Structure formats: C-alpha cells, structure tokens
C-alpha cells in the first residue's frame, strides 16, 4: 500500500529528505503513516481531516495487538512530527496529536561483549575462502571502528586514506566522520584490496555492495560456532568497541566522535555500562581487606551484565587494557 497522493504528505516526505534523513528512517515514516491512514480509512480524504479521537483509537489498537511500548512510542513520535509539520506549514489550524500521550519507554543499557568473548568470536572465523577472509575484515572493521553495519557495507576503497590510516564514514543523515585505523587493520585492508583488485565498494556484492541481511546471517553463523550468546548482532560489536575504549581510559568525547553521535548524551549511556561493571568489580574482586575470603577467589559468584566465562574481574580488567592497546 502506497501513501495517498496528498500535498500534505508529499510536502512532509520532501521535508524529511531535505533534513537528510536516511533512506531507512524515511521508510519507517512511510510505514507508520501508511498504517495510520489504513486504520482510519482515510481513502480520498486529506490527512488534515484526521481527528484526535481517531489518533487515540489507532494508538490503542497498537497496544491491543501487543506492540511493544518502544514500537508504539516510535509510531506516536512519527504522528506528532507529521502533524507538527502540517501545523507549521499552515495545512491545519490545530494539531490533533497535541494531547496524544507517548508511552514511556525505559532506557535499557546496550549489550556489549567482554574482551574474551570478542576474541572467541574472531577465533571462530577462518580465512579458508575469499568469503571467510572478507567476513574477518568486515567484522573487525565493525568492532575496531565502532561502525554501524550500514556504514560498513557502503564503505568504498576510495574512502580509505592509506597514508594517514583513516576511513571516511558516511553515517546517519549523510553526515561524514573520520575514524582512524589501527596499523594492523590498514595492512590487512591493503593486502585485501590488492589481492582482490577492488576499486569500488570495499565489500562488494552481486548488485553493488554486500547486503546487510547477508552479513547479519554470516555473523550468526560465527556466534553459534563460538558458542556465544545468541543475542549478538553486528551492533553489539559497535557497543563493545565503545565500552572497551572507555574502560581503557579513552575520553568520552573520543568515543562520541568515533561513533558519530551528535549528542554527548547518546554516548553517555556507555558510561552507565562501565559504571555497572565497576560495581561488579568492586563487589566481586578480593582485596587486602577481604582477609576472610579464600585467596584467589571472588567474594561471590560474579553475576551481571557480562556473565564472563573466566575467573576474576581483576584479570578481566588487565585483559581489557591489554586488548584495547592492541586495537
């Protein structure tokens, strides 16, 4: 089902494009508005005819169908932005979404891997075939540079500055940033490009660049092989990079720039993750004042966000620092 050909809708979509929203974000707006118009039976009527009661009924129907609070909140946000635009542009005299409540969504900490888990993941990858070798470089680039998967699949050979060792990244809203590469990664990418004779996309596919869904599926294969938690996605590697750099002492502004966050508040959530980990270290690591505790054993069984598969948080910290220096 396509969006109705109304001037209000056409103007709004044009506005989103001028705001440099990504194609994925615009598709999300399309989907939310299509569902709204279908629910209210808009037909040939103009969106400006939609009433507050219809909007409330639509949001209630989403909740009745078991949509998650986050999904409902996102749909309400689209609705509010759409009608806010119509009001600002003079298409309507009163915003019907003004009093539409947006469900509160608790902010969850991002999931990240321990350094040993990252090592186990890469150990599960081989370079027996060209596809295996590509996968190694692709996922190492995601982790080492904190890239979104969409940024990685669209990376081009020409985006790499071989002399100074950095990669030009085009992120959300077509915003560009520069991320520096570890020397080993520059060397590995150089050998990969020379060996394959690539000139266009760094990770080519049948029709342009390799597809995101294909690389997600490839990662799942390695996750199973390494016997790691099934929740791991390409974005988990991005989260892990942020956490490991912060633990290693990197300034939060460096992590903000590497991830391409406009607001420092977006990066700040990773400090909560580090704080939670610091609490676990404090509670579970033996110190000189814990004389009654058997030497070499944690104060209690470590249970928390990371569920490490090794003994001792003190060893974990030393491995994080060692690994972050290598990356």
Q: How far is CA 71 from CA 22, 47, 220, 271, in A?
A: 19, 22, 25, 26
Q: Is 30 among the residues known to form the active site?
A: no
DSSP string, 258-276: HHT-SSHHHHHHHHHHHHH
Indicate whether 231 belongs to any domain.
no
Contacting residues for 273 by C-beta, under 8 A, at least 6 apart = 109, 110, 112, 239, 243, 305
How confident is the model at residue 201, as a pLDDT?
92
**One domain for residues 242 and 324:** yes
Q: Is 91 among the residues known to form the active site?
A: no
3-state secondary structure of 295: coil
Q: Across the chain, where does the E strand assignment appear?
A: 160-161, 166-170, 176-180, 204-205, 208-209
CA distance 192 to 34: 44
CATH of the domain at 153: 1.10.443.10
Q: Say if residue 189's pLDDT is above 60.
A: yes
Question: Which of the 8 DSSP states describes residue 156?
Answer: B
Over residues 273-287, mean pLDDT: 59
The band of 301, judged by pLDDT with boundaries at 50, 70 and 90, is very low
Q: Is 224 among the residues known to form the active site?
A: no
Indicate whether 120 belongs to any domain.
no
Q: Say if residue 216's pLDDT is above 90.
A: yes
pTM of the model: 0.61
Q: Say if residue 321's pLDDT is above 50.
A: no
Top mean pLDDT of 108-112, 127-131, 170-174, 262-266 is at 127-131
DSSP string, 300-312: S---SSS--SSS-
Q: Which of 216, 256, 253 is nearest to 236 (CA)?
A: 216
Token digits for 286? 């033996």
**One domain for residues 219 and 130:** yes
CA distance 55 to 36: 8
Q: Is 261 among the residues known to form the active site?
A: yes
By percentage, how much of the chain surpasses pLDDT 70?
75
Catalytic residue (choose from 238, 239, 244, 306)? 238
Q: Say if residue 79's pLDDT is above 80.
A: yes
Question: Which structural domain, as residue segments, surrounds residue 317?
Answer: 107-114+236-327
Indicate whether 230 belongs to any domain.
no
Catalytic residue (choose from 29, 75, 245, 270)? 270
Which residues make beta-bridge pairs with 179? 167
Q: Which of 115, 209, 105, 104 is nearest to 156 (CA)?
A: 209
Residue in this structure with the two tokens 């888990």, named with its chain if needed: 117
Indicate whether 93 belongs to any domain.
no
Catalytic residue (choose from 182, 211, 235, 286)? 235
Structural domain total, the chain: 3
Expressed in angstroms, the distance from the first to the final Cα of the chain is: 47
Token digits for 192? 């990969």
For 43-77, write each residue's pLDDT tens digit: 777 888 889 999 999 989 988 888 888 888 888 88
CA distance 127 to 61: 50
Over residues 105-117, mean pLDDT: 74
CATH of the domain at 43: 1.10.150
Segment holding 117, helix H or strand E: helix 115-123
Over residues 179-202, mean pLDDT: 90
Catalytic residue (choose from 133, 245, 261, 306)? 261
Q: What is the mean pLDDT of the chain?
A: 78
Where residue 296 falls (left for φ over 0; alpha for ψ -120 to 50; beta otherwise) is: left
Token digits for 191? 């050998």
Select from 225, 255, 282 the last residue of a domain: 225
3-state secondary structure of 322: helix
Q: Say if residue 146's pLDDT is above 80.
A: yes
* Total length of the chain: 327
Catalytic residue (choose from 148, 154, 239, 244)? 148
By the 8 A CB rule, do 6 and 50 touch?
Answer: no
Catalytic residue (choose from 34, 56, 111, 172)? 172
**One domain for residues 33 and 68:** yes
Over residues 290-307, mean pLDDT: 45
The band of 326, judged by pLDDT with boundaries at 50, 70 and 90, is very low
By the 8 A CB rule, do 32 and 80 touch?
Answer: no
The backbone torsions φ and ψ at residue 119, rounded to the nearest 5 degrees and listed phi first, read -60, -40
Top mean pLDDT of 74-78, 251-255, 258-262 is at 74-78
**One domain for residues 218 and 137:** yes
Question: Which of the 8 DSSP states describes residue 201?
Answer: B
Residue in this structure with the two tokens 């990066």, named with its chain if needed: 267
Indicate whether 102 belongs to any domain.
no
């Amino acid at each position: 089902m396509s969006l109705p050909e109304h001037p209000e809708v056409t103007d709004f979509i044009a506005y989103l494009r001028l705001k440099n929203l990504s194609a994925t974000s615009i598709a999300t707006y399309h989907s939310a508005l299509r569902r709204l118009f279908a629910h209210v039976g808009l037909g040939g009527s103009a969106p400006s005819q939609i009433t507050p009661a219809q909007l409330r009924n639509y949001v209630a129907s989403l909740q009745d169908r078991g949509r998650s609070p986050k999904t409902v909140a996102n749909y309400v946000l689209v609705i509010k932005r759409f009608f806010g635009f119509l009001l600002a542009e003079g298409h309507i005299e009163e915003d019907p979404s003004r009093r539409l409540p947006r469900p509160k969504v608790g902010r969850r900490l991002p999931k990240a891997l321990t350094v040993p888990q990252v090592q186990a993941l890469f150990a599960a990858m081989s370079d027996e075939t060209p596809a295996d070798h590509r996968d190694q470089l692709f996922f190492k680039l995601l982790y080492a540079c904190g890239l979104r998967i969409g940024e990685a699949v669209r990376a081009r050979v020409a985006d790499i500055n071989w002399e100074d060792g950095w990669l030009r990244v085009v992120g959300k809203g077509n915003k560009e940033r520069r991320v520096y590469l570890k020397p080993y990664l520059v060397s590995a990418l150089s050998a990969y490009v020379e060996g394959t004779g690539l000139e266009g996309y760094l990770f080519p596919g049948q029709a342009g660049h390799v597809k995101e869904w294909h690389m997600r599926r490839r990662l799942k294969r390695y996750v199973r092989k390494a016997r790691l938690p099934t929740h791991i996605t390409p974005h988990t590697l991005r989260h892990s990079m942020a956490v490991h750099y912060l633990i290693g002492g990197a300034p939060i502004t460096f992590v903000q720039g590497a991830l391409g966050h406009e607001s420092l508040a977006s990066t700040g959530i990773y400090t909560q993750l580090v704080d939670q980990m610091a609490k676990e270290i404090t509670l579970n690591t033996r110190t000189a004042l814990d004389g009654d505790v058997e030497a070499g054993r944690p104060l209690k069984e470590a249970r928390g966000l990371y569920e490490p598969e090794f003994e001792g948080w003190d060893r974990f910290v030393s491995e994080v620092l060692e690994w972050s220096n290598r990356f």
